Amino acid sequence: MTRILVVEDELHLAEGLRFNLEAEGYQVDVVDSGEAAVDLLIEKARKYDIVVLDVMLPGKSGFDVVAEMRQAGQFVPVLILTARGHSDDVLTGFASGADDYLTKPFELTILIARIQGLLRRREWLQRTRPVEVRSQSFTFGEQSVYFDLLELHVRDQIFPLTVMEMNVLKYLIQHENKPVSRKAMLEEVWGLHEDTDTRAIDNFMVRLRRYIEPDPTKPQHLLTVRGVGYRFVAFPEKLQ
Amino acid sequence: MIGIARKRSIAFFIALCACLILVSILFYVGWVLLGWHRGILLFLGALLLVFIIAGIVLNTAFLVREIRRNEQHDAFINAVTHELKTPVASIRLYVETLQARSLDETKRKEFYNVILSDSDRLLGTIEQILRSGRVRSSSRKPNFAPMNLGEAVGECVARARILHHVAPESLEYEPGPQLPILGDNDEVKAAVSNLVDNAIKYSGTDMHVQVSAARIDGRFAEVRVKDRGPGIAPVELKRIFKRFYRIHGPIAMRVKGTGLGLYIVRSVAKRHGGRAWAESAGSGHGSTFVIQFPIAPATQQ
């Protein structure tokens, strides 16, 4: 049975969500604080198929929770559900490692559709894994990116990426060797068109570098282009 | 939300800044170029220098205050966004649930009650915001009429017991003697309700709140709301009455609010010629909130 964790401190919303998700046939657990969520997901390593996460929680905020989860290697899909709808908040949410973001008040049907979308993606991934269908991949040096699997293989190591991290990486690879502006990435990857603080992207780059660069302090593949944004170089030796 | 007073203070500080520049130029021309190094002019030069330094200090203080205000305003917008959107989200969720699913009678009744209580919460927040604007504007004269403070407090306590599902022994109130005051019934009740609601909200699970109303040396009618909650650090006792101010920390995260409640309490007390303050033996020792109103003159009774 599909298990959903709802992290929400507003009692009415939490119970309303529980009722509806149970009616959809899911098994639902509810906790009311960031600390309790971290305890369940990281300390107890409880298995969930999806987490619905509020941001303004007592104690630890939802953004901190998802960042800590990703840091600790907990890669369950996370849907952030919050009253904070400013584009800076949305970017912070994705930058901390969330897979989807929905603002309150929300439409019940949309919420359920998004949850189903995330679950379907997960199911597809699991289905493709045993057959090792790796048609959609890109290899450079010792690194291979498997777009559909949301995985990055470096020698024998496997790094699972979030959907957003993969989208950013994919976009950079598609524009190999060409400088890509932060604004273009915001528009193409996030679909945001407002004038926003584009530095949230830098957090993504820091994480991606940690995965793909042999020495993240001296990047060879993910280069910063001053005043513009970034440039992906698959084969730095060819460039010289 | 910029008030006239604030615009005036900004104009004052811009004028001060212009004066400072003028004095600096005067000082430079007189002291350095023309050489006033003698007698009375020496004194005048020193005076100008003192004036410039004092002005710079004043301007910096103003700048810091404005920055702080801005930060508090941002926090307020965030809190209000949350307080307004959450009940709407909840109401929407339950209405959609009622619409989309077939439910038995008890479930339906339960959901209707949730919707009602969320719309009350929404209304409460809206009233709080509107009231904070109203008690600020001095142009609108309050609607003063003779009233019995003890009775008003009784109504507030009864309302709080129902609203927060609190047993009478956890929220105690002994109706006392007649306390005739001249006041705006709505505002007085809103102020007392804010104090009682705060005491309940911040108390947590182990709740014990005592409300009392008494006459103090014949001139004031006083309401005390005493709780055994988390208490207040001495430095915060005054600040918590400021508009938008909320104490930083885990308690403020647990208890949601707009930072307007105590501001309203203090403003209402002032408008009625009374005052409001908080007492606490420090963090962890509970706190007592007091609001005083002047007793109505004997001829009014």
Instruction: Say yes or no: B250 contacts chain A, CB-CB below 8 A.
Output: yes
Better-predicted residue by pLDDT, A140 or A80: A80
Q: Is the pTM of this model over 0.95?
A: no
A122 with A144, same domain: the answer is no
CATH number, domain with residue A12? 3.40.50.2300
pLDDT of B173 strictly over 60: yes
Tens digit of each residue's pLDDT (9 = 90 or more) over A56-75: 888 789 999 999 999 888 88
Better-predicted residue by pLDDT, A29 or A164: A29
A170 with A193, same domain: the answer is yes
Interface test with B, best of A12, A21, A106 (most B CBs within 10 A): A12
Shortest Cα distance from A109 to chain B (angstroms)?
A: 9
Bridging pattern class, strands B209-216 and B171-173: parallel
Tens digit of each residue's pLDDT (9 = 90 or more) over A116-159: 999 998 888 777 655 444 457 788 888 888 888 888 888 778 88
Cis peptide leading into residue B168 (ω within 30°): no
Instruction: Say yes or no: A122 contacts chain B, CB-CB below 8 A.
Output: no
Q: How far apart are CA A14 and CA A23, in angstroms?
A: 14
pLDDT score at B4: 67
Among the partner-chain residues B82, B85, B97, the one whose CB lies closest to the CB of A20 is B97
Shortest Cα distance from A22 to chain B (angstroms)?
A: 12
Among the partner-chain residues B89, B90, B250, the one whose CB lies closest to the CB of A58 is B250
| Among A212, A234, A94, A80, CA closest to A152 | A212
Tens digit of each residue's pLDDT (9 = 90 or more) over B69-103: 888 888 888 888 888 999 999 999 999 999 999 89
Please tell me which residue of chain A has the smallest CA distance to B81: A83
Q: How far is CA B234 from CA B17, B252, B279, B285, in A?
A: 36, 17, 8, 12
A145 with A233, same domain: the answer is yes
Instruction: Say yes or no: A35 contacts chain B, CB-CB below 8 A.
Output: no
pLDDT score at B3: 58
Cβ contacts of B187 within 8 Å, gap of 6 or more: B131, B135, B142, B268, B271, B272
pLDDT score at B2: 47
A92 with A163, same domain: the answer is no
Considering A101, A128, A155, which residue would you say is the last residue of a domain?
Answer: A128
A102 with A146, same domain: the answer is no
Among the partner-chain residues B86, B94, B97, the one whose CB lies closest to the CB of A83 is B86
Q: What domain count does chain A have?
A: 2
Please tell me which residue of chain B has the smallest CA distance to A55: B82
Better-predicted residue by pLDDT, A168 or A29: A29
pLDDT (mean) for B206-219: 88
A209 with A182, same domain: the answer is yes
A123 with A141, same domain: the answer is no
Q: How far is CA B88 from CA A107, B81, B116, in A?
A: 11, 11, 11
Question: In which band, very low, low, confident or very high, does the pLDDT at B25 lie, cut at 50, 70 and 90?
Answer: confident
pLDDT (mean) for B224-238: 89
Among the partner-chain residues B85, B97, B256, the one whose CB lies closest to the CB of A105 is B85
Q: Which residues of A touch B96 (CB under 8 A)?
A: 107-109
pLDDT score at B140: 61
Question: In which band, very low, low, confident or very high, does the pLDDT at B217 lie, cut at 50, 70 and 90?
Answer: confident
Looking at every residue in chain A, the average pLDDT score rounds to 86
A203 with A100, same domain: the answer is no
pLDDT of B121 strictly over 50: yes
A58 with A81, same domain: the answer is yes
pLDDT score at A183: 82
Instruction: Say yes or no: A60 contacts chain B, CB-CB below 8 A.
Output: no
A87 with A156, same domain: the answer is no
Tokens coding A101: 């973001």
Q: Which residues of A touch B253 (CB under 8 A)?
A: 57-59
Sheet harboring B171-173: ordered strands across?
B171-173, B209-216, B220-227, B287-294, B275-280
Interface test with A, best of B77, B80, B90 (most A CBs within 10 A): B90
Q: Which domain holds residue A72?
A: 3-128
Q: How far apart are CA A82 and CA A93, in angstroms?
A: 10
Range of weakest confidence among A35-44, A94-103, A120-129, B161-170: A120-129
pLDDT score at A56: 87
**If you search the block for the tokens 């190999």, which residue do you land on?**
A176
pLDDT score at B137: 66
Looking at every residue in chain B, the average pLDDT score rounds to 86
A115 with A163, same domain: the answer is no
Shortest Cα distance from A84 to chain B (angstroms)?
A: 7
Question: In which band, very low, low, confident or very high, does the pLDDT at B249 lie, cut at 50, 70 and 90?
Answer: confident
A15 with A124, same domain: the answer is yes
Instruction: Say yes or no: B8 contacts chain A, CB-CB below 8 A.
Output: no
Share of chain B above pLDDT 70, in %: 93
pLDDT score at B1: 45
Interface test with B, best of A104, A107, A110 (most B CBs within 10 A): A104
Considering A128, A146, A175, which residue would you say is the last residue of a domain?
Answer: A128
Question: In which band, very low, low, confident or very high, does the pLDDT at B290 lie, cut at 50, 70 and 90?
Answer: very high
Considering A94, A128, A162, which residue would you say is the last residue of a domain?
Answer: A128
Q: How far apart are CA A167 and CA A159, in angstroms?
A: 15
Q: How far apart are CA A222 and CA A214, in angstroms?
A: 11
Better-predicted residue by pLDDT, B48 or B33: B48
Cβ contacts of A238 within 8 Å, gap of 6 or more: none
pLDDT of B282 strictly over 60: yes
| Among B170, B214, B223, CA closest to B194 | B223
Q: ipTM value, please give it.
A: 0.70
Among the partner-chain residues A16, A56, A58, the one whose CB lies closest to the CB of B93 is A16
Shortest Cα distance from A229 to chain B (angstroms)?
A: 30
Q: What is the DSSP string of chain A?
A: --EEEEE---HHHHHHHHHHHHHTT-EEEEE-SHHHHHIIIIIS----SEEEE-SS-SSS-HHHHHHHHHHTT----EEEEES---HHHHHHHHHTT-SEEEESS--HHHHHHHHHHHHHHHHHHHHHTTTT---SEEEETTEEEETTTTEEEETTEEEE--HHHHHHHHHHHHTTTSEEEHHHHIIIII---S---TTHHHHHHHHHHHHH-SSTTS-SSEEEETTTEEEE-S-HHHH-
pLDDT (mean) for B16-31: 83
Question: In which band, very low, low, confident or very high, does the pLDDT at B28 lie, cut at 50, 70 and 90?
Answer: confident
Better-predicted residue by pLDDT, A199 or B150: B150
